C-alpha cells in the first residue's frame, strides 16, 4: 500500500509539473509575439460593435491587468497566474461581455461527453477485437479486419471525418451532420432532447472511433500474439485451466498493461482529433470554440481554451496512470 502512495505522489508531482509547464508555455507564446494584445483586442472590439465607452474602458483595464504589457515580464507572469487561478481570463470577444471561462465551461460537457464515450468505446472494442484476433491468428474474419484497420489507421482525422461527412451528408443523408442537437428541440432534461443529442453525436463519435480503433486493434493483436507464447500461458494450458480464464485472466490481462500506458500517451492526440471533429460536424464543444476564437482574434478565449485543455488532458493522463498499478502489481513495488 505504501508503494501505491509513493506512486501516486510521484504522479501528482508530474501532473503539477505538466500543468505548470504547459500553461507557462501558453503565457510565453502569447507574450513573445510582437503584437500588443490589448490594443489588438480593443481595435477589433471597437470596429465590430458600438459598445459604450465604459465597457471599452473596463475591458481595457481587465486586459491591461492581465497582459500587463507595460510591466516587466515576471510581473506579467505573476498576474497571469493570479487571474488564472481566480478563473477569470477576461470577457470574450466572441460573445461580449460573457467571460471566456464561462464559454469554456459551457462547451466542456459537449467535448467531454463526446471524447470520453468515444475513447472508452474505441479502447474497449479495439482491444477486445485485437485480443481475439491475436488469439486466433488464422481466423479469416479477423485477418480481413486487420487489413481494414491497417488501411484506415494512418489516415488523418480530418480526411476520415470529411469522408463520413460526404457519405452521410450528401450520398446517404440519414444522420444529422451538424450541430449538437436539432434546432427545433428545446434544451431540457427530457427524452426528446437526449435522443437528439445522441443522434447528433453519432457521426462525430463514429469518426473518432474509426480513426482510433485501428491503433488499439493492431497494437493489441501484436501484444496478444506475443503473450500467448509466454510460459505462463502454455503452462496454464497444460494444467487444463478453463479457456475463458486463460484468455481473460492470463492473456488479455497481461497484454492490457502496455495498452493502458499507450492510452495515457494517446490522450493528447485524441484531444486534437476532437477539435477537428467538432469543426467538421459543427459540434458545440471547446474545439469549435478554439477555432472560432482564433478566427475572431479572441485572445482571452483562446487562452482560456488552451489552459483548460492542457489541464484537462494532464488530468485525464493522471487518472489513467492511477489505474496502472491496479492492473500491474509490479508497478506498486517500484
Partner 1 sequence: MTQDILTVDGLKAYYQMNYFGVEREVRAVDGITMTVRKNEIYGIAGESSSGKTSFIKVLAAAIRPPMRVVDGSAKFNFKNGPIDVTTATPQQIESIRWRHLSYIMQGSMSTLNPVRRIGKTFEDFAKRPLAASGTPYRERVLGHLERLKLPADVLNAYPHELSGGMRQRVTIGLATVCHPEFVIADEPTTALDVVVQKEVLGLIREIQQDMGSSVVFVTHDMSVHANMTDRVGIIYAGRLVEEGPTRQMFFAPKHPYTAHLVASLPRIGDTTQRPALEGRPPSLANPPAGCRFHPRCPLAIDKCKTEVPPLIPVANDHRSACWRWQDVGPLVKPHQANRVMA
Partner 2 sequence: MFSVFRDLIRYNIEFAIGLILVGAVVIFACLSYFAPVDPTLIYVAMPDQPPSGQYWFGTNSRGQDLFWQLSAAFRNSLIFGITVAVLSRIISITVGLLSGYVGGWVDRVLMFINDIFVAVPIFPILVLFYFVLRNNMDSFTLALIMACFGWPFDARLIRSVALGLKHREFTRHAVFAGMSTPKILLEEHLPYVMPIVFSTFMANMLWSIGLEVTLAVLGFTNLNNPTIGTVLYWAISHSAIVVGVWWWIVIPVVLIVMTFLGLFLLAVSMNEYIDPRSRLRRMGA
- Measured CA to CA, the distance from residue 168 to residue 275 in angstroms comes to 20
Nearer to partner 2, 33 or 190 (CB): 33
**Count of residues that interact with partner 2, criterion CB under 8 A:** 52
Q: By CB under 8 A, tell whether 261 contacts partner 1.
A: no
Task: Map the footprint of partner 2 across residues 15-44, applying CB under 8 A.
Answer: 17-18, 21-22, 25-26, 29-30, 32-33, 35
Query: Cβ of residue 291: shortest distance to partner 2, in angstroms?
Result: 6
Distance CA 272, CA 55 (A): 35
Choosing from 230, 247, 282, 324, the residue that interacts with partner 1 (CB under 8 A) is: 230
Show the cell assigned to 305.
481554451
User: In this structure, what are the phi and psi dihedrals at residue 190, rounded to the nearest 5 degrees?
Assistant: -125, 170
114 binds partner 2 (CB under 8 A): no
Residues in contact with 72: Cβ distance below 8 Å, sequence separation at least 6, in sequence order = none
Closest to 68 in 3D by CA, of 32, 37, 101: 37
In whole angstroms, give the CA distance from residue 96 to residue 51: 10
Residue 261 interacts with, from partner 1, partner 2, none (CB under 5-8 Å by kind):
none
Determine if 159 is a binding residue for partner 2 (CB under 8 A): yes
Task: Tell me the per-residue interface mask from 232 to 251 with partner 1, x by CB under 8 A, - otherwise.
Answer: x-xxxxxxxxx--x---xx-
248 DSSP 8-state letter: I
Contact of 66 with 83, CB cutoff 8 Å: yes
6 binds partner 1 (CB under 8 A): no
Strands (E), the chain: none
List of residues contacting partner 2 (CB under 8 A):
14, 17-18, 21-22, 25-26, 29-30, 32-33, 35, 150-151, 153-159, 162-163, 166, 170, 218, 222, 225-226, 265, 267-269, 271-272, 275-276, 279, 290-291, 293-295, 297, 302, 305-306, 309-310, 313-314, 317
Amino acid at each position: 500500500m505504501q508503494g501505491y502512495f509513493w506512486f501516486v505522489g510521484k504522479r501528482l508531482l508530474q501532473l503539477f509539473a505538466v500543468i505548470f509547464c504547459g500553461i507557462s508555455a501558453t503565457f510565453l507564446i502569447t507574450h513573445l509575439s510582437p503584437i500588443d494584445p490589448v490594443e489588438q483586442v480593443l481595435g477589433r472590439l471597437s470596429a465590430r460593435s458600438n459598445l459604450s465607452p465604459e465597457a471599452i474602458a473596463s475591458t481595457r483595464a481587465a486586459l491591461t491587468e492581465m497582459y500587463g504589457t507595460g510591466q516587466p515580464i515576471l510581473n506579467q507572469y505573476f498576474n497571469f497566474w493570479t487571474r488564472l487561478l481566480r478563473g477569470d481570463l477576461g470577457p470574450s470577444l466572441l460573445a461580449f461581455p460573457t467571460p471566456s471561462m464561462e464559454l469554456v465551461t459551457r462547451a466542456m460537457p459537449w467535448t467531454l461527453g463526446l471524447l470520453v464515450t468515444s475513447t472508452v468505446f474505441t479502447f474497449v472494442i479495439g482491444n477486445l477485437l485485437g485480443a481475439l484476433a491475436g488469439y486466433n491468428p488464422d481466423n479469416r474474419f479477423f485477418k480481413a479486419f486487420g487489413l481494414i484497420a491497417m488501411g484506415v489507421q494512418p489516415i488523418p482525422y480530418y480526411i476520415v471525418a470529411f469522408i463520413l461527412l460526404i457519405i452521410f451528408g450528401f450520398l446517404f443523408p440519414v444522420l444529422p451532420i451538424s450541430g449538437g442537437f436539432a434546432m427545433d428541440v428545446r434544451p431540457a432534461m427530457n427524452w426528446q432532447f437526449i435522443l437528439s443529442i445522441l443522434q447528433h453525436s453519432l457521426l462525430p463519435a463514429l469518426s473518432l472511433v474509426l480513426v482510433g480503433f485501428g491503433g488499439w486493434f493492431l497494437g493489441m493483436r501484436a501484444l496478444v500474439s506475443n503473450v500467448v507464447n509466454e510460459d505462463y500461458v502454455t503452462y496454464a494450458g497444460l494444467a487444463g485451466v478453463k479457456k475463458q480464464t486463460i484468455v481473460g485472466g492470463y492473456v488479455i490481462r497481461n497484454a492490457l498493461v502496455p495498452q493502458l500506458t499507450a492510452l495515457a500517451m494517446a490522450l493528447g492526440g485524441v484531444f486534437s482529433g476532437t477539435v477537428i471533429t467538432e469543426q467538421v460536424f459543427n459540434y458545440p464543444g471547446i474545439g469549435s470554440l478554439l477555432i472560432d476564437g482564433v478566427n475572431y482574434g479572441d485572445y482571452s478565449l483562446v487562452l482560456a481554451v488552451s489552459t483548460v485543455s492542457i489541464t484537462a488532458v494532464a488530468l485525464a493522463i493522471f487518472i489513467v496512470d492511477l489505474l496502472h498499478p491496479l492492473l500491474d502489481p509490479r508497478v506498486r513495488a517500484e
